[in-house]
């Protein structure tokens, strides 16, 4: 746990979309690892205040809370500026905020397409741009993480925009890893599979879990722990990868029909 006297030496992480789901879980894991946090949210102040209270109470470090609509021009830069002003450094950026889109392209409104492209691709690219500038200017090697998806690697119907943007992030991260390697900045992607999002969900009870080789769907802490490790010195020789955290969900032949009549559930291996 940090104290006022050593705050300037503590690592700082920005987590976007931290009010619910994966973002909330990532924030809690990073707080436990000793990071000071800047957390963004868009619409639900109630959710982010619960996260703020939990982290402050448990770890004694009140996070910086930033309300932001990252689809609006200038907002990404402002998030980085606010974090630098209040905390003086950025060591880790977790580009988590995003919006799902499950629809046929022929039936999607142009405004919905624009929203998905702006939030799922443009915003994380701009956040990364301004964060990398600060890291370079302050000679502070750090880590930039894009939350992608197993859908960035595997095609599904009604997923051309969301899946396409996640695939684009994976490819862009590879180029950014090359561009920023000389400054000691590592750029990687973490790709969740099916993951619980609401507090009333149990990862072991969700129907899709029986269709996943490891027997359950993912939890936000699964993603948080992966990010904490990938951003640590233990992973200092890793850059430009897409680390899939999906319990084997999209391995070849993976059945994804959750209906009981579909069968094909995974059994447990038992040593005789």
Give the pLDDT score at 4: 39
Edge-to-edge strands of the sheet including 36-41?
64-67, 36-41, 12-15, 92-95, 143-147, 186-192, 242-245
At residue 23, the 3 state secondary structure works out as helix
Number of H helices, E strands in the chain: 7, 7
Catalytic residues: 162
Q: CATH number of the domain at 9-262, out of 3.65.10.10, 3.40.50.720, 3.30.230.70, 3.40.50.300? A: 3.40.50.720
What per-residue confidence (pLDDT) applies to 215?
86
Return d(Cα 74, Cα 220) in angstroms, integer. Answer: 29
| Structure tokens belonging to residue 87 | 């905390």
Residues of the chain with pLDDT under 70: 1-8, 198-206, 252-260, 262-272
**pLDDT tens string 50-100:** 999 999 999 999 999 999 999 999 999 999 999 999 999 999 999 999 998
- The per-residue pLDDT for 15 is 98
């Amino acid at each position: 746990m940090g104290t006022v006297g050593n705050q300037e030496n503590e690592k700082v992480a920005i987590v976007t979309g931290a009010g619910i789901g994966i973002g909330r879980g990532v924030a809690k894991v990073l707080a436990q690892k000793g990071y000071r946090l800047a957390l963004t949210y868009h619409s639900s102040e109630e959710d982010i205040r619960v996260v703020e209270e939990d982290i402050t109470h448990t770890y004694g470090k009140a996070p910086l809370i930033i309300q932001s609509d990252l689809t609006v021009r200038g907002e990404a830069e402002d998030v980085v500026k606010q974090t630098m002003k209040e905390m003086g450094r950025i060591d880790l950026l977790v580009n988590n905020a995003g919006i799902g889109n499950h629809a046929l392209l022929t039936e999607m409104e142009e405004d919905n397409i624009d929203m998905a492209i702006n939030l799922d691709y443009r915003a994380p690219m701009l956040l990364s741009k301004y964060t990398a500038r600060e890291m370079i200017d302050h000679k502070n090697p750090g880590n930039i993480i894009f939350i992608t998806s197993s859908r960035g690697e595997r095609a599904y119907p009604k997923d051309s925009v969301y899946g396409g943007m996640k695939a684009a992030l994976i490819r862009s991260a590879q180029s950014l890893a090359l561009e920023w390697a000389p400054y000691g900045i590592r750029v990687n992607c973490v790709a969740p599979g099916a993951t619980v999002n609401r507090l009333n969900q149990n990862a072991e009870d969700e129907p899709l879990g029986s269709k996943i080789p490891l027997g359950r769907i993912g939890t936000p802490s699964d993603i948080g722990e992966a990010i904490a490790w990938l951003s640590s010195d233990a992973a200092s020789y890793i850059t430009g990868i897409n680390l899939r955290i999906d319990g084997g969900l999209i391995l070849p032949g993976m059945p994804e029909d959750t209906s009981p009549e579909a069968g094909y559930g995974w059994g447990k291996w038992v040593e005789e």
